[in-house]
Structure 1
Amino acid sequence: MNAPPANAALVDALLSLKTAEEVEAFLADLCTPAELRAFAERWQVARLLDAGGKSYREIAAEAHASPTTVVRVARYLKDMPQQGYRIALDRLKTKA
């Protein structure tokens, strides 16, 4: 994947961080509280979708997300070539 230079620099910055505390501090500086909540919401939706057993409505209610967000995350999990959600979900499963 060829990211624009600004995106590549951000990726490099994220990869330079070594601890959860460093990542939290960087994200707190980089993002607004609303942006962080949106990221956390999408990640919770991805985890709930991956776990299965719940309807999109149930996932939306549990994650305090809109149905549109649930559908969008589901589409990215299933159809998009990047598979970023899938990579993180699978790595966290093997870590547990």
Structure 2
Amino acid sequence: AATSKATMMKSAMMKRNVATTMKANANVPKVSFVRKGAQTAGVAASTLALALSAQAADVKLGSDSGGLVFEPATVTINKGESVTWKNNAGFPHNIMFDEDEIPAGANA
């Protein structure tokens, strides 16, 4: 009899919890899929814009066809932007510059 009474009490408690949970969930506001999609698209666009602005240029050291050139041949960057040099020819390269031509405050 004790087991039966404990089982009935446990069952009654479970039913009460389920009813309470369902009542609480019934009051959750619904967000339209269109609005949620627009929010997601806005966040994705902002993230992409930040990622693209963080790096100004990629320069390959050696062309895809095997030529010993820089691709692109020239790049223009703004203060705070960076250039990433990618070794595309399979052997080491050096970047040389005239120290006297580096603007004051540049990190080179």
TM-score (norm 2): 0.22
TM-score (norm 1): 0.24
Q: Which has the larger radius of gyration?
A: 2
